[in-house]
Amino acid sequence: MSRIGKQPVVIPSGVTVNVSKDGVITVKGPKGELKENIDRDIQVEVNGSEINITRPTDQIRHRAMHGLYRSLVSNMVKGVTEGYRKDLELVGVGFKAANTGNLLDLALGYSHNIIFEVPKELKVNTVTEKGKNPLITLEGIDKQLLGAVAAKIRSLRKPEPYKGKGVKYTDEVVRRKAGKAAGK
């Protein structure tokens, strides 16, 4: 049995969970509302202040989905109560970030600025302090969407291994390589 799948998801106070007949689970909390389609083979039961997820058989497909849906439901509950946050750092001379609403204006060393539209479900904030690298902060309740948008922004200029220039997560460690002078 899946070690993750068999653990119940605890529902904190102020959060309501509804499971419809057509397999849609809705989680409402103080920060917002999230919905997720659940596979028809996986059973979701709300018992008081916890959610239990069960599978019908021990097939590989069912075992894989058991842990997956338990994690997705757990992430939804955490998202509507606490929310999620990702911080990105721009490392490089002349790299800049500014935002107006949900439009992110990035100067990443190309011949033109990149205008990136952040989905309305997420909040974006940019901080530029003198002597420090510019920071982009993304906040939202949907962990999947937040991770996808942060990865897309990072992919605009990935950190390179020689000088470490590029867009990186603040907790990311870039493996540095020695240049050609070190080979002699």
The structure tokens 């659940």 sit at 38
Residue 71's domain comprises 9-81
Do 52 and 130 fall into the same domain? no
Q: What is the CATH number of the domain that holds 101?
A: 3.90.930.12
User: What local confidence, expressed as pLDDT, does residue 1 receive?
Assistant: 46
Neighbours of 5 (CB within 10 A): 21
Q: Give 13-56 pLDDT, tens digit per residue.
A: 999 999 998 889 999 999 999 999 999 999 999 998 999 999 99
Domain membership of residue 183 (yes or no) is: no
CA–CA gap between residue 116 and residue 136 (Å, rounded): 12
Say if 184 falls within a structural domain: no
pTM of the model: 0.89
